[in-house]
Chain A
């Protein structure tokens, strides 16, 4: 093995004893191998919980062979708040603010999911206007959640511009959300039997303007990413799952559909009259990160279509059911009318009692199937409130998807799951 040397220009020209320019040997490592032998020895590295690419406080302990992932061991619970336990100590309407804080990227859809479960438990039929308003709430949430996913994932994979476009669109929905609920994040928009408030004046026009202009941004994002060589190279064939594997892993939402399983709760177990809307279930083919991107991008278009149809059919009429035992009277009546005051007092102090029984309602949230399972023993507080968290179950497939890929692919795969740690840890 010949010795590698490097020519060095010294400040003072130097010659060796044979009159040749002075050459300096490169270093001490030349007698042995240039690098320590790492082959066969696995490395353990820790990513998170404070790491931007883990999308929250997820901690991954990764076993690496060189740069190849051998095993991923996720650690959860850094954001565990005990929502399910807290729910056992609260009235049904008092639980709704907790649902905002689970999947905080689509709070209005969580509110709807819980309200539907409580209404199924109590056997309440909601009004036609409320049904359409809830569809609007769900589809607005789908768009903002997918926009955040698109923006953060493109940043993870090195594209900054789509992030700005996506967040601008999200901002427009947030303004509408703020107009309706008074809050941008903690919306708490539903009540058992109705909504917290009807939509304000100007909301329909604002949302209609959004639905008309939003497809242009989607087209721009599509143009900059879908056939982008870097994007395609980093996502195609990465983290692929077959349809059978996805079903066996209990995946749901875009993760399941990207693997070619045409299962959408809105079509298969319709709620809120989704069967009467005209929209397509978007299905992928290969189940890799790229297909998950395509599915989510197209779902935004479909959500936009549903929003337009919902705005067209929005009926007039009351938002809340006409049951004074369920719905709080207006404050002015509660202060002036004896009967209204009694109902107000009983609802606030005792809460609404649910009959003995249990109900499970799954809705198609942006992340997947969000289930709310309520068990009642006849009191005003549930015995058990279980959230079926789509992010949590989708994340459980991470180890299987990432094994054998490179460390940099792990970041892409983790991003493609679309997790929200508030919901994973609850």
Chain B
């Protein structure tokens, strides 16, 4: 077991949940509202120095009762140590957590991917919009377990939507503000962009 777990429990007390070991890797569960503090402490404390964010991802289990887990793989380059920090998000609850972009710029696209694929919102992210799917994608979150392998819509419906799509929808709102083409967007898209709800299920029509 990684000694950082004891140090975390001594510093943060109740905010640190259980710690388990799997295949030689230490996994420590952290409460979502203290995540940013815990990661900042892990990054900056001299005997921890987890300065490298390897990966941010999420796991949803086939068992519907289990919470969705956010996974942060941390590494200390100097100490050659690894730590996996997890945050549990209860199903049906608010799938939101603080963004770690203020700590690591590298988290920018990784968090966007988790948002895109799992629908987890990262509070304070500078530019949270879909990254692999297009912004007007309305079928939901592809890596969630309730998402069928072939997608929610039929192939005919997918083709119809692709053909009916507004080409301007391939630009983000920021880009459109540069191009001054924002005024020419259809009203429903303008409304959706103004709300900041990009590509959520049920918002398209």
Contacts and interface: CB of A to CB of B under 8 A. Distances in A.
Contacts of A383: 59-62
A84 B143 contact: yes
A154 B55 CA distance: 31
A400 B54 CA distance: 19
A61 B62 contact: no
A63 B133 contact: no
Given A120-B23, A393-B110, A400-B105, A388 B171 contact: no
A360 B61 contact: no
Given A61-B171, A383-B62, A250 B54 contact: yes
B57 A42 contact: no
Instruction: Say what secondary structure dominates the interface of chain A.
Output: mixed
Contacts of A77: 131-134
Contact of A371 (B52, B54, B131): B54
A247 B77 contact: yes
Contacts of A108: none
B41 interface: no
Contacts of B14: none
A76 interface: yes
Give the interface size bracket for B toward A: 35 or more
Given A44-B175, A377-B62, A89 B149 contact: yes
B132 A76 contact: yes
Given A360-B84, A373-B57, A75 B170 contact: yes
B80 A269 contact: yes
Contacts of A425: 132
A85 B22 CA distance: 23
A373 B23 contact: no
Contacts of B105: 248-249, 396-397, 400
Contacts of A375: 59, 61
A108 to B, nearest CB: 23
Contacts of B104: 248-250
8 contacts: A84-B143, A86-B149, A357-B23, A359-B22, A359-B25, A383-B60, A396-B109, A397-B106
Given A248-B104, A377-B63, A397-B105, 17 more contacts: A44-B178, A61-B175, A77-B134, A84-B117, A120-B23, A247-B77, A249-B105, A250-B107, A251-B106, A263-B52, A358-B22, A360-B73, A371-B73, A384-B60, A386-B59, A388-B55, A393-B110
